[in-house]
Structure 1
Amino acid sequence: MKPIAFDELKNKSIKFIKGVGESRRSLFEKLDINSVFDLLTYYPREYEDRSKIKNIADLENGENCSFEGTIVSNVNEARPRRGMVISRVTVQDSTGRITALWFNQQYVRKALLLGENYIFFGRIERKLNKLQIVNPVFEAGSSEVMKKSLKILPVYSATRNLGQNVIRTIMQEAVRTLDNVQLEDMLPEDIRSRHKLAGLKESIRQIHFPGSAEKMQEARYRLVFEELFMLQLGLLNYKSLAVHKGRGIQFGKPREMEAFITFLPFKLTTAQQRVLEEVEQDMESENVMNRLVQGDVGSGKTIIAVIALFKAVKCGYQGALMVPTEILAEQHFKSIKPLFQEYGIALELLSSSLPKKQKQGIFDGLREGRIKVVVGTHALLENTVEFQKLGLVVTDEQHRFGVRQRTILAEKGQNPDVLVMTATPIPRTLALILYGDLDISVIDQLPPGRKPIKTYSVNEAMRERINNFIREKVMEGRQVYIVCPLVEESEEIEAKSAVVTAEDISNNVFRDLKVGIIHGKMKSAEKDAVMKSFAAGEISILVSTTIIEVGVNVPNATLMVVENAERFGLAQLHQLRGRVGRGGEQSYCVLFNQSKSQVSRERMKIMSQSNDGFVISEKDLEIRGPGDFFGTKQHGLPELKIANLYRDIEVLKLAQNSARELLETDPGLRGNLRLKQYLSGYFGEKVTLS
């Protein structure tokens, strides 16, 4: 039997799994499941432990569990209102009684027979000191069925028309396909042995259909370790490449530096001065700088980059500042230009929407060295962009760029220094591991005069009061953001859209006020025109999607209203909130929460109580389940399918140590070629190992 690597199953379509026809294939596609590999790595979000039967007298309020009992009443049906049927029955064992009830599931009247025995599973509730179970699943209590029923069952994130039973059945078929396959384990044998890791095939089987809680935990530990090991191996590889690729540029100490810093329209905070010293030390050393400057919204990271660019230019080099959006690029360009003009530094703005002739002029200027600093979007990564002497690369809002993207830009110079900035605060221990390829500086102090933004979580009952508050702020001469999760209405998602909201408020609630709209589907020229108009105070209320999340700076905007706030991550809400409070006036953020869930209420409470991005990110990690942290794809990292970066921090450290040891003993992974190949696929790009 020829061994195959797990990732080879990416090439096998899900339609080859028994039970997956064309209609189911398209439903699985909605869950981003296209291949057998995608299906097998679609891990359960939780489990139902039906393996232990309890006596009715021992059932506790709020627990999910199984019990066995006899039907001692006929099924009673009540119709409290049109469209609702409640089916109710009494179940008894030798220790007590419980009421089972179902909503709009009339099949139970024929399915449950008086005097027969059944096994029930569900959530127990105690109402008026009486036990009840709502919408339980049940099966006839014969010994044959009991064997089938009493298991730990996986619970998956589902979609309409693709429920748990269907996913479980298809998953069983997928797991069964591994029976006749020799699955090649990518983890080196000594690492598996040292950390007592279960085999890959058995781990996949047990994570989906565990024989016991212990076997499920063993499987999870193995799969979490592998996921984090691959993540660290890739990151440490990038760092080792940066360290080993030769000497960096040893920048000098230009005499104009002190005057330039004094010339700034504000005084640097103590935290900014400390971080600037760390950056300067890096630039003046012979090693290539790879530094992350992390700071909360409004902490003043950009000026550190501007000073570093000034230093690079005054030492005879060129600099590049790459940002994720054209709006932010133009904003940086406008704020930096007057500072550099005073010293005769040629600065240009490059974006994909510029006319061809203008772009060509910038290409020529960079190649010939006439343009000293360029601010741009992803357009900077194009092959047509060449520098005469690139010395410093700065990427702003790093979470919007991949690790590889900043490497592409750096490769346009001869070992230039790299400075990375992010306003997504991550707890420091975690940042050291997540950004394993970077040294880290933190600006942990806001400029003086910044007032904390007052944040309130409200529901629909407060709509009229909030509308009055919006009008009040506009009458005071202030401006307002209204942020929606969608651009246009969607049949599948119940949430406010920017287009419909803008239309509604401009025609009805605020028809006497100037309302604007901006979203990602608009052309660049349209977006620029709207932002210019808002910045100039010509638009009072700007309805937007998250396109304004990063860097947009309109100090006169003092109120932000976020629709369907439950649909955003905490880190994203914090970023959005950072668009207000940028002037001296008191600012406000109103979060409309349409969800009644406990988790949602908890998240809104955190936003209302804290303006500290680091506290918020810690809480975000704590309450999120396994999976994508802040959208790790946005961090330029592979999506985490099973690891939880908060709960699994200890495993993360072990994985990092193992990855570091492996690269020390086998720097180019020459003795682990299949692992090297697998790593490339894991990062979704070519991973070069020296």
Structure 2
Amino acid sequence: MAVTQSVAGTLFCKFRGKKGNDVKLTDSVATLPGVGPKRLAALAALGIDTIESLLTYYPFRYEDLSVKPLNELTDQEQVTLKGIVAAPPTLTHFGRRKSRLNFRLLIGQDIVPVTFFNQPWLQKSVAADAPLMVYGRFDAKRMALNGMKIIGTNPDDPMAPIYPANANIRQTTIRQLIVAAWEQYQTAIEAIIPPAIVAHYHLMDRRQMIHDMHFPADSDAASQARRSAKFEEFFLFQIRLQALKHRDQTQQGIAINYDNEQLKRLISTLPYELTGAQKRVVNEICLDLKRPIHMNRLLQGDVGSGKTVVAALVMYAAITGGFQAALMAPTEILAEQHANNLQAIFDGFPVNIALLTGSTKAAARREILPRIENGEINLIVGTHALIQDTVNYHQLGLVVIDEQHRFGVGQRQALREKGMNADVLAMTATPIPRTLAITSYGEMDVSVIDELPAGRKPVTTRWIKDAQIDSAVQFVKAQLAAGHQSYVVTPLIEESEAVDMRNAQAIYERFSTLFSPTYQVGLLHGRMRNDEKEAVMTAFKAKDFQVLVATTVIEVGVDVKDATVMMIYDADHFGLAQLHQLRGRVGRSDQQAYCILIADPKNEYGVQRMEVMTQTNDGFVLSQKDLELRGAGDVLGKKQSGVPDFKVGDPVADLTMLSVAQQEAKKLTDDADWQTQPTNQVLVHYLNAQSDHEYMFD
């Protein structure tokens, strides 16, 4: 299990480092030769600070440098050829800094011409009648090689690893440091995953796995090592999530003994029958409220599935138990809409609602804050203003966070800590496929509303090309004539020379001309002040204008019952999940609604997204497709999705392995004594050493 001697010998003949029991994988990479402050900073930018992080900094691909016979090569295959240089090389210069190096390689009885472009320094490595190995792209028609690099006479690594690098540190440097770390620290590598799991899934020993990830003998060894590395990565991640979940479940929380009869009375006053899915999730959440442990539950449901009324019912349950409830929304428009809707739902019930946002006037705040602190106000709706230091709650028992992925972890935690470890219900209208449920929300209990209210008609979606826009405008006019309203969405606010997309300002001006004087057109975009946005939405809801040209600021939550048409310009520039959220702004009543996608996709990827949007209204189907096409980080956003950047595993492509790792992690942590069992001691020690305090194990 040693690295090729020629590599190790040349690199470390002068190296003097830690020996024997002194080495630990938590040692800084500064212990390695050649790592000074500048290189330490360059490595840190790649996420490398310890020996552990260096040894698990795996290559993303390999160049197979093993030699194949000429008769087995295919056209344009990247290959390594080994032969004798048949004649002195010739170097030709042409143009500015352009050159061509030519020589012939004798392989058996065959002569193979080799050409290198713009690498004149390689001439000194090519000597007539000397053996040579060359890597490049094989041209089967010409029986020639377009050279990429000269290997020498024998490769140090038959499978050359290629690592992610940056401008401040080269591939060769990363490789040298990994070799150094392996030579010095390989004996410190211990088996982490319990032996029974390793045996059951035929995983590699960890030391062998790390070796074969960096120094594989062949492609099979690299493949087996990568399989084991993926499982380890998924398993360790799931162990941490399960630890969070167990911590919540064992942490002392609030037992909210709500009045079930009062809750039933509120349900009986609703102007509609709850769906079966709504009844199920209300029961799930209320059961958690009664338990004396901290609730951490995610409520997910498609647009229009009725999450708001579920939130209203469980908040009322908390209020009947003598506690306050708070609902935090990502925007002031959405917070105000929630406050108005809740006011209507709780009309005639002992619920005192306050709206608290950044725009709340100082005089109103002076009146509201004492009433929150003394408990007179028992339902507080707002934005991040709810977590300001000046806001003190009397007895906050339940926190509801709407569109929770739009808040940072710190904001969610701050609101929870405003109460005595208040129960948390996070809501999202972004349907989450199983992949993201396992990765992003694995520490939460999940309730799903998978049923639309009765009478709600699916939105009819059509995809048209630019040439058909005039007919779409006529369709919108017909809808306006019937008393309805329309959204028109564009990706940009102002014209951009760099991107060929429609812009909101230009479309607003064009539509104002098209619809004048019969209909009025409004404009809404993210650069407006909050009070300006609020004024525009209020006017649109009041039908002061019939067409609203907007950017994606109207994507989440805004509810205008009479809006039946959603036109989306340059729809191929949006992801499926975002298009579905935009489409969800119409069809909020029993009227038939329409979504018109305007796009001329430049590639098959864009065509696929347009086609799938016209085929289904199921947000879960769309989000899974979006995940497959774009990746987890782009679906919810890199910063806020919570989806980790796995080094080797792909939560979409490797979903089965991810699920198995979750099952094994849950099975292990469900045993109350798992941390004290001898076979798990290395795992527990490793997790404590590698994790921050949030994941510390007892």
Q: What range is the shorter-chain TM-score in? A: 0.7 to 0.9
* Corresponding position of 1:195: 198
> Are the structure 2 counterparts of residues 467 and 225 from structure 1 closer, same or farther at C-alpha, using a change threshold of 3 Å?
farther
Q: Residue 404 of structure 2 aligns with which residue?
A: 398
Superposed CA offset, 1:368-421 (max 9, x none): 101111122233334433321222222222333456654443333345433232
Matched-pair contact (CA < 8 Å) for 1:56–1:92 = no
Matching residue's letter, 1:540: V
Aligned partner of 1:372 in structure 2 is 378
In the TM superposition, 1:351-500 aligns within 5 A as: 351-401=357-407, 405-428=411-434, 431=437, 434-455=440-461, 462-466=465-469, 469-470=472-473, 472-473=475-476, 476-477=479-480, 478-484=485-491, 495=499
| Distance in 2 of aligned mates of 1:554 and 1:679 | 50
Q: 2:68 matched to which residue of 1? A: 53
Q: Pick closer, same or farther for the CA change 1:252–1:143 going to 2, 3 Å.
A: closer
C-alpha change, 1:190 and 1:264, in structure 2 (3 Å) is closer
Q: Quote the residue 1:147 is aligned against.
A: 155
Q: Is the 8 A contact 1:101 1:133 kept in 2?
A: no
- Partner residue in 1 for 2:550: 543
CA contact (8 A) 1:249 1:416 kept: no
Whole-Å separation in 2 of the counterparts to 1:100 and 1:606: 48
Number of residues paired by the alignment? Answer: 649
Distance 1:317 1:595 in 2: 55
Question: Match of 1:328, as an amino acid?
Answer: L
**Which deviates more from structure 2 when the two are superposed, residues 334-343 or residues 507-516?**
507-516
Q: Secondary structure at the match of 1:664?
A: coil
- State the SS of the aligned residue for 2:278: helix
C-alpha displacement of 1:308: 0.9
Counterpart secondary structure, 1:281: helix
With 196-205 and 285-294 compared, the bigger mean Cα shift is at 196-205
Deviations 1:643-663 (A, max 9, x none): 222314334433553465257
Cα distance 1:526–1:441, how it changes in 2: closer, same or farther (>3 A)? same
Structure 1 segments unaligned to the other structure (5+ residues): 76-88, 125-129
Q: Aligned-residue CA RMSD in angstroms?
A: 5.3
- Which residue in 1 is equivalent to 2:95? none
1:260 and 2:260 are equivalent in the alignment: no
Q: Distance in 2 between the 1:487 and 1:463 partners?
A: 19
Q: How far apart are 1:667 and its partner, in Å?
A: 5.9
Partner of residue 650, structure 1: 657
Q: How far is the alpha carbon of 1:298 from its aligned partner?
A: 1.6
Amino acid at match of 2:445: D
C-alpha spacing 1:96/1:385, structure 2 compared with 1 (3 Å): farther
Q: CA deviation at 1:291?
A: 3.1
Distance in 2 (CA, whole Å) between partners of 1:517 and 1:207 is 52
Q: Could you tell me which of 292, 306, 321 is aligned with 2:312? A: 306
The aligned runs of 1:269-288 (5 Å cut-off) are: 269-285=275-291, 288=294
Structure 2 equivalent of residue 78 of structure 1: none
Kindly, what percent of the aligned residue pairs are identical? 31
Q: Is the CA contact (8 Å cut-off) linking 1:17 and 1:174 kept in structure 2?
A: no
For 1:83-102, what per-residue CA distance to the aligned partner results, in whole angstroms no more than 9, with x for missing partners? xxxxxx99999999999999
- Alpha carbons of structure 1 residues 4 and 306: separation in structure 2 relative to 1, 3 Å: same
SS of equivalent to 1:362: helix
Q: Aligned partners of 1:152, 1:447: CA distance in 2, in Å?
A: 58
User: In structure 1, what residue type is equivalent to 2:289?
Assistant: M
Matching residue within 228, 242, 249 for 2:248: 242
> How do 1:288-367 and structure 2 match up within 5 A?
288-367=294-373
Distance 1:90 1:553 in 2: 73
Mapped to 2, the partners of 1:136 and 1:611 lie a distance apart of 51
Out of 533, 539, 547, which is 1:527 matched to? 533
The corresponding residue for 2:234 is: 228
User: TM-score when scaled to structure 1?
Assistant: 0.75
Report SS of the residue matched to 1:341: coil
Indicate how the Cα distance of structure 1 residues 55 and 558 shifts in structure 2: closer, same or farther if over 3 A, else same.
farther
The answer as to whether partners of 1:481 and 1:560 remain within 8 angstroms in 2 is: yes
Is residue 168 from structure 1 mapped to residue 176 from structure 2 by the alignment? no
Equivalent residue in structure 1 for 2:507, among 505, 508, 511: 505
- CA offset at residue 288 of structure 1? 4.6
1:664 counterpart (669, 672, 679)? 672
Contact kept? 1:626, 1:641, Cα under 8 Å: no
Contact 1:560 1:580 in 2 (8 A): no
Whether the 8 Å CA contact 2:459–2:587 is kept in 1: the answer is yes
1:553 and 2:555 correspond: no
Structure 1: distance between partners of 2:659 and 2:298: 20
For 1:608 and 1:536, locate their aligned partners in 2 and report how far apart those are by CA, in whole Å. Answer: 31
TM-score, scaled to structure 2: 0.74
Cα 1:99–1:366 change in 2 (3 A) is farther
What is the distance in 2 between the residues matched to 1:391 and 1:447? Answer: 29
Residues 229 and 659 of structure 1 are in contact (CA less than 8 Å); yes or no, is this contact kept in structure 2?
A: no
1:506–1:367 Cα change, 3 Å? same
Q: Which amino acid aligns with 2:305?
A: S
1:178 alignment partner in structure 2: 181
In 2, Cα distance between the equivalents of 1:44 and 1:346? 59
Which is further off, 33-42 or 657-666? 33-42
